[in-house]
Amino acid sequence: MPDTLSDLRRNLAEAYRIVANEGILDAFGHISVRHPGNPNRYFLSRSRAPSLVQADDILEYDLDSNPLVPPTVRPYSERVIHGEIFKARPDVNAVCHHHAPAIMPFAISGVPLLPVFHLGAAMGQSAPVWDSRDEFGDTNLLVVKPEEGASLARALGKHSVVVMRRHGATVVGGELRELVFRTLYSAKNAEHQLAAHVLGHVSPLTPGEAEMAGQLNLAPGPLARAYEYWVRRLADKEGRGKSDTSVRAAEAAARKPNPGVAVPVKKSGAKAKAKPKAKGKKR
């Protein structure tokens, strides 16, 4: 959890730019995070290209997707995606909606998106498909009405990714770094699955493999390692040095040992004295 709401805004803005830098978000798409102290509120940028988002672009909303302060800038029209998912899923604390090129063939064809490699297991065992036509007929394909957002949330159900027919995908996570990991690797998974279809055979993970690999991928160690990599790539692109606050924080997280993993402690100074041998009984 961030120490302050200022940290949250900075972290969220950086997540926007990371996912854009990795080629998943372009001029469109958006990321939100639930208020850490009030589950009935969330944060989302103003309507701006993700690669440009800064901390002062972040606005606060209630779960009906109404801004708490009347905005002087244009908000995202599809913010109900976030509000309605936060309503339906108390376990979700971060949401990303995108139109990644790797996802679009699945959104257009309806071919099921399945985990096909170990890091792709972060997407879960499967991704349901939501088709706006089923409930709303012909639309402009944007999710702008509360009932449309609620319909999408129902289709998502307990899953981590929902594919949106002819539109893109929406991804959820328990926290922001987990969301970024899942967003990036579910898109990479789609890329690999599409390539395997070209070869003519797709062999997805078993449910057991997907569950175990997914848990391992999102453990603190792998998550910190990946996030340090993405933060450094973004910092290098933006011309920020190693002394940048977010770079130092990501590096510090990556150095931490995994919880539950024993770390040998080196004793300083003289060697520990050997335990005295038990004295035998006098005969």
| Active site residue ranges | 78
The identity of residue 49, as a single letter, is A
Contacts for 192 with CB less than 8 Å, ≥ 6 apart: 116, 117, 120
Q: What are phi and psi of 97, to 5 degrees?
A: -115, 130
Strands 161-164 and 129-130: parallel
